[in-house]
Chains A and B, each alone.
With several copies, the nearest count.
Chain A
């Protein structure tokens, strides 16, 4: 029997160890697994490498991991936003390392890691500082940078609904990085609003097939301890 449901956010992230690399879905306020991040923060694993489009704002989400000193390195495209105070502070202190990746290169590097592809040639960033030290080539007069796969030990995913097999449907623009990240980690954990019965989700609306998901946890049945 395949049943990927776990009973609590705490249990869902319990085995993420010190030093792990963790992908976290989301774009701004959209599609972020805030419950899983909070459970990870309380779990106190540190020295983390976080891969996410943004670096968090205010006091919640990735910002709370930075505030608590749990992050060693962050890989993202847009760390600085209105309110990204904890990222800015930790970066200025030299406490957190930043790998800045153009957004489309970030999502494609994650996708190819999940797709078993060893690298790809992108025109993005050619001739810029972000391509320094990278292999390049010119094909038919157009310059390309060779970019490599980006995977992680764990992926924290946010979706709208799931089923016991881990199939996921999303709400509006909440997809963003979640579908690719679900593919790129050997252990992908999804936080959803609702887990239905098998067959309840419209198969034509499923965006992330359950094969990419290892655990699902529903906000209906769990409570984030504070």
Chain B
């Protein structure tokens, strides 16, 4: 199997972010997507704690403990950016004002159900943050995740077995093997990376997949 690196996965997601979009990137791998958005695109990043127009990390020594992103990393504000309180920030998210949210996931189901905040074997107390609000609110929800678990178990399922983050919320899944769209007919493969075949990807997926339309 051909598997994309994490970097190339983030790069592939970045390709699908149009110029002029308002985008929220989840904590972790999704945050890295910003590094690969082409310079000729203007993308405005939203941070759930209350920033629109998030800029790059500050120079050493110029950090402001108040100016952090959702992942608690120091950031800056771009010209044209602004601040607001948490209720307004989530009004933006829940109200459908963000064009794209990119989140990681434990599992995605063929109907677009997302499970990304808790497992059934949590040894830690649960945490949910803003994931559920982003899941229901963004116009398009992109998931970026490995196609399978470390034990090679499928993460794209007929039904999620982990607690749900949202029902029928995922638009598109970017894995290390392929890109899949959630459609009314089911999960459709829209891109296969490298030499991967539809059959190979299907064999690592519990949900039944639809082949690319032009194949």
CB-CB under 8 A from A137, the residues of chain B are none
Rounded to whole Å, the gap between the CB of A87 and the closest CB of chain B is 7
Q: In the complex, A125→B166 CA distance in Å?
A: 6
Interface hits, A61-100 → B, CB 8 Å? 77-81, 87-88, 91-92, 98, 100
Interface hits, B160-189 → A, CB 8 Å? 163-167
Q: Which of A1, A176, A179 contacts B42 (CB 8 A)?
A: A1
Nearest A residue to B136, CB-CB? A123
Interface residues of B, CB < 8 Å — how many?
Answer: 58
A180 at the interface (CB under 8 A from B): yes
Q: Which of A87, A117, A212 contacts B94 (CB 8 A)?
A: A117
Contact assessment for A198 and B80 in the assembled complex, using a CB-CB cutoff below 8 Å: yes
Q: In the complex where A80-B125, A87-B125, A203-B82 touch, is A28 in contact with B130 (Cβ < 8 A)?
A: no
Q: In the complex, A80→B126 CA distance in Å?
A: 7
Q: In the complex, A90→B42 CA distance in Å?
A: 45
CB-CB under 8 A from A126, the residues of chain B are 136, 166-167
Q: In the complex where A116-B136, A128-B164 touch, is A209 in contact with B84 (Cβ < 8 A)?
A: yes
Contact assessment for A128 and B132 in the assembled complex, using a CB-CB cutoff below 8 Å: yes
CB-CB under 8 A from B90, the residues of chain A are 103-104, 107-108, 115
Interface residues of A, CB < 8 Å — how many?
Answer: 70
Contact assessment for A177 and B86 in the assembled complex, using a CB-CB cutoff below 8 Å: yes
Q: In the complex where A128-B132, A172-B67, A199-B80 touch, is A177 in contact with B85 (Cβ < 8 A)?
A: yes
Contact assessment for A102 and B50 in the assembled complex, using a CB-CB cutoff below 8 Å: no
A29 at the interface (CB under 8 A from B): yes
CB-CB under 8 A from B49, the residues of chain A are 27-28, 30, 173, 176
Contact assessment for B80 and A128 in the assembled complex, using a CB-CB cutoff below 8 Å: no
Contact code string A184-219 (vs B, CB < 8 Å = 1, else 0): 000000000000001101011011011110000000
Contact assessment for B128 and A104 in the assembled complex, using a CB-CB cutoff below 8 Å: no
Interface hits, B108-132 → A, CB 8 Å? 118, 124-132
CB-CB under 8 A from A27, the residues of chain B are 49-50, 68, 86
Contact code string B89-104 (vs A, CB < 8 Å = 1, else 0): 1111111111000000
CB-CB under 8 A from B126, the residues of chain A are 80, 98, 100
A21 at the interface (CB under 8 A from B): no
Rounded to whole Å, the gap between the CB of B34 and the closest CB of chain A is 16
Q: In the complex where A127-B166, A129-B163 touch, is A78 in contact with B65 (Cβ < 8 A)?
A: no
CB-CB under 8 A from A102, the residues of chain B are 128-133
Rounded to whole Å, the gap between the CB of A224 and the closest CB of chain B is 17
Interface hits, B127-146 → A, CB 8 Å? 127-133, 136-137
- Which B residues are within 8 Å of any A CB, using their own CB? 19-20, 22, 42, 44, 46-53, 64-68, 72, 77, 79-98, 118, 124-133, 136-137, 163-167
Nearest 5 Cβ contacts at the A-B interface: A199-B79, A104-B90, A116-B94, A115-B91, A104-B133
Q: List 9 A-B contacts (CB under 8 A).
A: A28-B72, A102-B132, A102-B133, A104-B133, A107-B86, A167-B80, A171-B64, A178-B85, A211-B44
